[in-house]
Amino acid sequence: MTPFLSQAIAVLLVSLRIGPTLAFAPPFTLLRVPAAVRMMLGVALAAWLVAGNPASTWQVRSSGVALLVIALSELMLGVALALALQLAFAALLVAGRVVDIQAGFGLAALADPTTKAQMPVVGTFFAYATAAIFFATDGPRTLLTIWSASIERTPLGSATIGTDPARMIGYCSTVFLLALGVAGLLILVLFVIDLAIAFMSRTLPQMNVLLLGFQVKTLALLVTLPIAMALAAASMLHVVSYALETMPELG
């Protein structure tokens, strides 16, 4: 097989390793960029990584079914690498859903035109703020470093999925705890308002508790949300950093 064809297959295999992160994992899915464009970016980055790691250029010695199995293993490795960012942003959306339900916004949801899915109102603020922090800090550079180190650590054609379940469980518990810390101030404020309205309903039984509670909690949420977002910036940065640190271990 010619060196050009061997290099082209190596680029395609590397694109299967980094493509799932660009195509399906936040914060890239939050960008209003078509999935096809993100996949083309993945192929371009794969070509750059292969050119920057000449020692890792894979010499094709198999074809047909064996090559298909290798491609599937590379794709599964890419999915495992993308899982860390997926879980981190999913935790933020769950924390936002908790705030939505407590504030009475459980019936309202935002439709994401990129993923064709419904997103919680407050969780969307958390997700976009964390995405802004990811791109404003060393997130993209760290991600490229992880992909490059992945090629060196796991050469093309030798990808295997053997993540320790205990490590995955520990990561999920930590990242969901950090996400609840992001929404902690809002949850506390809404809980105090619920207690105050509950005491008022005991002294004024004729009061419309549902209507009053929705109005008061909506105003409180609008006032508290900017403050909570500002105070939670460090926690959001910690969520991103922890996800990037864990990504190589999950792969």
Query: Structure pTM?
Result: 0.82
Other C-beta atoms within 10 Å of 221: how many? 22
Contact 28, 42 (CB under 8 A): no
Report the alpha-carbon distance of residue 140 to residue 132 in Å, rounded. Answer: 11
The residue ranges of every structural domain in the chain are 3-183+232-250
For the stretch 177-234, pLDDT in tens is: 989 889 988 999 989 988 888 887 777 666 666 667 778 888 888 899 889 888 888 8
| Three-state secondary structure call for residue 28 | helix
Report the alpha-carbon distance of residue 29 to residue 12 in Å, rounded. Answer: 21
133 pLDDT higher than 90? yes
Looking at per-residue pLDDT, the higher value among 130 and 163 belongs to 130
Report the alpha-carbon distance of residue 96 to residue 121 in Å, rounded. Answer: 7
Angle between helices 3-24 and 65-103 (to 10 degrees): 20
Q: Is the peptide bond before 27 cis (omega within 30 degrees of 0)?
A: yes
Tokens matching residue 138: 């060393």
| Three-state secondary structure call for residue 20 | helix
User: Which residues, 6 or more positions from 135, have their beta carbon under 8 angstroms from its beta carbon?
Assistant: 27
